[in-house]
Amino acid sequence: MQKARIVQTHILLIDDDPNLRELIEIELKERGHAVSSAQSAEDALRLLEADRFDAVLTDVNLGGMTGVAFCNHARSVDADLPVIVMTAFGTMEAAVGAIRAGAYDFVTKPFDIEQVALVLDRALGLRGLRREVARLRSSAPREDGAGVAPEIFGKSAVLDRVRELIARVSDSDATVLITGESGTGKELVARAIHETSSRKGGSFVAINCAAMPENLLESELFGHSRGAFTDAKTSRAGLFIRASGGTILLDEIGEMPAGMQAKLLRAVQERRVRPVGADDEVAFDARIIAATHRDLEEDVREGRFREDLYYRINVVKIPTPPLRARGNDVLLLAQRFIDQSPLRTTRGVEGMSAAFAQKLLEYSWPGNIRQLQNCIERAIAVSRGKELALEDLPDNIRDAQPSRVDLIGDDTSALPTMEEVERRYILQVLKALNGNKTAVAQVLGFDRRTLYRKLDRMNEANG
């Protein structure tokens, strides 16, 4: 098996057997670790006081000091320092005692060095995650962009691309189509475009096109004249007119009935609307932004959405990435939701444990940011300490199995070509994003045509 390279980690190794100590030290250094070794607990404690370590690997039998006593001493120096205990079968009771005293894990002698390396890698990963959680807790209130809505708050590369597109289109009047799954913040992206544009002094008007039947939707958008229908006792301007000088958001435009799509196309083309029951058209001056969770290109191909309307609204497309494609942003958002929660003060919650944070990173978040916010509120409500713990998560999140990207696998005797690695990665991202090709293209950094071209080639190769 190929040895993983871990750079710039400092390991304290303690064992009174010089031959075993030298063997382990050589193997750890080959894996990229810096190693300081000691033959006794007393020597090790002096090193702990004088230097900084990322993990400790120690024999359970340290002569004058038990493994339990050493773990207590080590944790008094650094409470988050992971200690891994090496034990023979006959000293298993001492190893269990060390675990109870706070040791991270133990390995039994004789052991395979790969087993030690695997446990050490996990311990170092936990150490890094604890540091990240502590950093988030101390820095989250001062994070850049803290005044921005949570759905466009974060530091991931995919979110940087969203911000870049917002900046590029904000000062033009080009029609924008915002795509993405439910809960990814499409309306807040639309508001950000409005607030950074020259129209920010005007109104921002939003309507959910899926929330009302066609006849009411037409009246809401275009307005109506007095007597146009039974309850129309006075004339009323529609949202296009009321948004003049500002921005109108047509949310969930993919759910708009076919008859209404034809009327909307004319309004978008002519920049004029005819109120229901009126004889004359009225001009409007509003920037149009549309949003949808649907794959409109697929809907066009299937005849569910007008192709001419699609090209009218899709002048600039801004895909909003799902939370599972935003990496560590999930932790930034989680800490922000903790800081903003009205329950925080009464429950005394300050942050989250490393295990809690790890599960947030592993979960796929089908409900995206809305689901994360609900999860954090629920966890705070049932928490018992200053840190949110694993047991504070809902069962479906706590018990979910993490997805794993394995591009190479365990057999390194026949390493794949770059083309094969790309093929496997595309398939993995397709699976992770439930086949949403718009989101897949964004994560991969492709345009949709490039993605379709690559998928076609993959299908041809598979016969």
Residue with tokens 């192709």: 307
Sequence-ordered alpha helix ranges (H) in 196-314: 214-222, 239-242, 258-270, 296-301, 307-313
Report for 156-160, 369-373, 427-431: range of highest mean pLDDT: 369-373
* pLDDT at residue 456, rounded to an integer: 81
398 three-class SS: helix
Residues 220-225: contacts with CB under 8 Å, at least 24 apart:
221/264, 221/267, 221/273, 222/263, 222/267, 222/273, 222/274, 222/275, 222/276, 223/273, 223/275, 223/276, 223/278, 223/282, 224/275, 224/276, 224/277, 224/278, 225/275, 225/276, 225/277, 225/278
Are the beta carbons of 246 and 199 closer than 8 angstroms? Answer: yes
* pLDDT at residue 147, rounded to an integer: 38
Report for 35-44, 180-189, 323-332: range of highest mean pLDDT: 180-189
Rounded alpha-carbon distances, angstroms, from residue 364 to 152, 318, 337, 455: 18, 22, 18, 24
Tokens matching residue 153: 């708050």
* pLDDT at residue 175, rounded to an integer: 95
Cα gap 424→408, rounded to integer Å: 9
Residue 405 pLDDT greater than 80, yes or no? no
Task: Break the chain into its structural domains and give their ranges.
Answer: 9-138, 150-319, 323-398, 418-461
Longest dimension (CA), the chain: 99
**CATH class (in words) of the domain with range 323-398:** mainly alpha
CATH of 418-461, one of 3.60.15.10, 3.30.420.240, 1.10.10.60, 3.30.930.10: 1.10.10.60
Tokens matching residue 329: 């942003």
Can you spell out the DSSP letters for 361-393?
HHS--TTHHHHHHHHHHHHHHH--SSEE-GGGS
Are the beta carbons of 86 and 59 closer than 8 angstroms? Answer: yes
CATH of 9-138, one of 3.30.70.1450, 3.40.630.30, 3.40.50.2300, 1.10.1040.10: 3.40.50.2300
In the chain, % of residues over pLDDT 70: 85
* pLDDT at residue 446, rounded to an integer: 75
CATH of domain 150-319: 3.40.50.300
Least confident range from 61-65, 90-94, 190-194, 337-341: namely 90-94
Asked if the domains at 150-319 and 323-398 fall in one CATH topology, the answer is: no
Rounded alpha-carbon distances, angstroms, from residue 332 to 159, 297, 418: 13, 33, 33
Strand order in the sheet with 316-319: 204-208, 247-251, 287-292, 176-179, 316-319
Q: Which residue has the higher pLDDT, 2 or 429?
A: 429
